[in-house]
C-alpha cells in the first residue's frame, strides 16, 4: 500500500496539492480524475517519490524519502505526462532502459525480457527492435513506453505502475488495449495508478476512482459507486453517469444545459436530479 499522510506540495508559492490523506493498494487499478489544474500530475509525482512540502508518503509503512532511489526504481515504474519525443534510440535499447535500475542491461536475460516486453506491448520485435524511437507514430511510441515500464517491472514482489494521461494520443481501440494491459499487470498483483481524462474509460476499467479538485480529494470510491453528482461536483459541469445493466458498461456524458450549469455551479447543484433510482446497479 502507498499512503499519503497530510501531504502538501507547494509550487511557485502556492499549494498545488493537499493537504491530502490517501491510500492506494496493489492489485488494483486506481484512476485519478479531476479538472485541469486539480493536482493530478503533482499527485502522481508524489506517489513516484518526488519531493513534497509537508507530510509523508509511505510505501508499505516505509517513508519513500528514506528509500534508496535505485531500490525504489526496481519496484515502481512511471510513465510521465510528456509530449517530448525521446531521441533516436533503437527501440530495443529504449525498452532496455527499463532494466537500468536492475543493473542487468548487458545480461542476455535482459534481451529476453526486452523482447517479451515488446511483444506484450504489441510491438513485434522482428519489425520494431531496430526502428529508432523518433520514427514511431504516437500510438507506437506509447506502446514503446509501455514496453519500457513492463521491462522495468519484470520480476517478483511488490510493484507499482504510475501513469499520467497515458491514453492522450491513442485512438479508442488503442485506449482500451492500453487499459487491458494495465489490467493484466493488476492481475499479476501490480498496483496501477493512472490519471485519466476519459471518464468512461475510468469507469469501465478502474477498480477505484479518486476524485481530485483544487488539490484536495473529494472522494475515493469503487468505480461502480461513482455517481453523476460526484462527477458534477468534481468538474463543476453537469455530468451524467449512464449505466447499462445488460452489458455492464458505463459511460459518462455531459448533460443538457451543462454550459449554463458550469457557469453557475450553485444553481446547477440544486437542479441536478437524483438519477440513482433509475441506475441499473
How many Å apart are CA 33 and CA 164, to the nearest integer? 11
Look at residue 153 and give the partner it binds from ligand ADP, Mg ion, none, a contact being a CB closer than 5 to 8 Å depending on partner kind: none
Q: Residues with Cβ < 8 Å from 78, sequence gap 6 or more?
A: 44, 48, 149, 162, 163, 164
Q: What angle do CA 9, 12, 18 make, to 5 degrees?
A: 20
Contacts to ligand ADP from residues 41-70, by CB under 6 A: 41-42
Segment lying near Mg ion (by CB under 5 A), choices 11-19, 36-44, 106-114, 142-150: 36-44
Residue 39 C-beta: closest distance to Mg ion, Å:
8
39 binds ligand ADP (CB under 6 A): yes
Residue 45 C-beta: closest distance to Mg ion, Å:
10
Among 41, 117, 232, 272, binds Mg ion (CB under 5 A): 41
37 binds ligand ADP (CB under 6 A): yes
42 binds Mg ion (CB under 5 A): no
How many Å apart are CA 89 and CA 102, to the nearest integer? 20
Look at residue 142 and give the partner it binds from ligand ADP, Mg ion, none, a contact being a CB closer than 5 to 8 Å depending on partner kind: none
Q: How far apart, in Å, are the Cα atoms of 83 and each of 95, 135, 166, 237, 249?
A: 18, 15, 11, 28, 31
Nearer to ligand ADP among residue 17 and residue 147 (C-beta): 17
How many Å apart are CA 125 and CA 279, to the nearest integer? 46
**Is 258:239 a contact under the CB 8 Å cutoff?**
yes
Residue 32 C-beta: closest distance to Mg ion, Å:
9
36 binds ligand ADP (CB under 6 A): yes
Among 4, 7, 16, 64, binds ligand ADP (CB under 6 A): 16
* Cell numbers that stand for 36 in this block: 485541469
Instruction: Give the three-state DSSP class for 82.
Output: coil
How many Å apart are CA 14 and CA 10, to the nearest integer? 5
Among 38, 52, 114, 234, binds ligand ADP (CB under 6 A): 38
Segment lying near Mg ion (by CB under 5 A), choices 35-43, 68-76, 136-144, 154-162: 35-43
Look at residue 11 and give the partner it binds from Mg ion, ligand ADP, none, a contact being a CB closer than 5 to 8 Å depending on partner kind: ligand ADP
For 60, how many CA atoms within 13 A lie in the half-sphere containing its CB?
9
Catalog residues that contact ligand ADP under the rule CB under 6 A: 11-12, 16, 34, 36-42
Catalog residues that contact Mg ion under the rule CB under 5 A: 40-41
Amino acid at each position: 500500500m502507498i499512503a499519503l499522510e497530510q501531504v502538501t506540495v507547494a509550487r511557485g508559492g502556492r499549494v498545488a496539492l493537499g493537504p491530502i490523506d490517501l491510500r492506494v493498494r496493489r492489485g488494483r487499478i486506481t484512476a485519478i480524475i479531476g479538472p485541469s489544474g486539480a493536482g493530478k500530475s503533482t499527485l502522481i509525482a508524489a506517489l513516484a517519490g518526488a519531493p513534497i512540502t509537508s507530510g509523508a508518503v509511505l510505501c508499505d509503512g516505509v517513508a519513500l524519502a528514506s528509500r534508496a532511489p535505485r531500490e525504489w526504481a526496481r519496484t515502481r515504474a512511471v510513465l510521465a505526462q510528456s509530449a517530448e519525443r525521446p531521441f533516436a534510440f533503437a527501440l530495443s535499447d529504449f525498452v532496455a532502459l527499463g532494466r537500468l535500475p536492475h543493473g542487468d542491461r548487458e545480461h542476455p536475460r535482459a534481451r529476453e525480457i526486452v523482447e517479451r516486453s515488446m511483444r506484450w506491448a504489441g510491438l513485434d520485435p522482428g519489425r520494431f527492435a531496430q526502428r529508432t524511437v523518433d520514427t514511431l507514430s504516437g500510438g507506437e511510441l506509447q506502446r514503446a513506453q509501455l514496453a519500457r515500464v513492463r521491462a522495468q517491472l519484470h520480476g517478483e514482489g511488490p510493484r507499482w505502475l504510475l501513469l499520467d494521461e497515458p491514453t492522450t494520443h491513442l485512438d479508442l481501440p488503442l485506449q482500451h488495449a492500453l487499459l487491458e494491459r494495465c489490467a493484466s499487470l493488476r492481475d499479476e498483483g501490480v498496483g496501477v495508478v493512472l490519471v485519466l481524462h476519459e471518464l468512461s474509460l475510468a469507469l469501465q476499467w478502474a477498480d477505484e476512482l479518486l476524485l481530485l479538485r483544487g488539490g484536495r480529494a473529494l472522494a475515493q470510491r469503487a468505480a461502480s459507486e461513482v455517481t453523476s453528482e460526484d462527477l458534477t461536483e468534481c468538474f463543476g459541469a453537469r455530468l451524467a453517469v449512464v449505466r447499462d445493466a445488460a452489458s455492464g458498461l458505463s459511460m459518462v456524458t455531459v448533460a443538457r444545459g451543462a454550459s449554463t450549469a458550469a457557469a453557475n455551479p450553485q444553481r446547477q447543484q440544486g437542479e441536478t436530479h437524483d438519477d440513482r433510482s433509475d441506475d441499473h446497479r
